[in-house]
Amino acid sequence: MLVLTRKSNQSIMIGDEIEVSVLSVMGEKVRIGIQAPQQVPVFRKEIYLEIHRETGAAGSESDGSPTPASGEDAPAASAVDKSLRELGEGGQPNSR
């Protein structure tokens, strides 16, 4: 794990297309902004884990094998969209 120190209004780059910015620091809370291409899913970890828990359960119910978590096939993407709608995220991964 890479650990960096950043101040408000400073950023880090992940590859050439993903920028993570520190927007503000208030006590123990840090507001960050993530700018990424639309095709790159960005989730809070608890949402990510919930989606993968649900897609794993859905995949194992259908044919006994877990659904791939890569997001490259339509059933997994459909399950992610369904989970996002149920969680009130509106199906727009980069809108949080």
How does pLDDT run across 41-56, given as a tens digit for each residue?
A: 999 999 999 999 988 8
**pLDDT-based confidence at 88, cuts 50/70/90?**
low
Q: How far apart are CA 52 and CA 67, in angstroms?
A: 9
The reported pTM is 0.57
**pLDDT-based confidence at 67, cuts 50/70/90?**
very low
CB 3 within 8 A of CB 11: no
Average pLDDT over all residues of the chain: 78
Region 54-69: what's the mean pLDDT? 59
